[in-house]
Amino acid sequence: MTTLTIRLPDTLVEEVDAKAKLLHVPRSEYVRIAISRMNREVAAEERSKRLRSLSGRVREESMRVCAEFDAVEYGRTKAK
């Protein structure tokens, strides 16, 4: 395991200590949990952005295909 040294404002350290005590975990464990949760949140947001982007592309393609079917089936074309 790697040791990481960071500087934090005293008020943040006091808050971390209070929350760690409340949860009956050492400060270092509390910080590990907090970092892990933040990493999961960032990863989830990245996935969400990728999915929105891909969904938009799929939607555009789907609309194009539907327009082609309309043109074939009903002789309709959509103005672009």
pLDDT digits (tens, 9 = 90+) for 18-44: 999 999 999 999 999 999 999 999 999
Does residue 80 carry a pLDDT above 80? no
25's CB contacts (< 8 A; 6+ apart) are 33
| Structure-model confidence comparison of residues 57 and 50, the more confident one | 50
Query: Closest Cα partner for 77 from 62, 68, 65, 60?
Result: 68
Identify the pLDDT of residue 48.
93
For the chain, what are the domain ranges? 10-74
Angle between helix axes 27-74 and 10-23 (nearest 10 degrees) is 90
- pTM for this entry: 0.65
| Structure-model confidence comparison of residues 8 and 66, the more confident one | 8
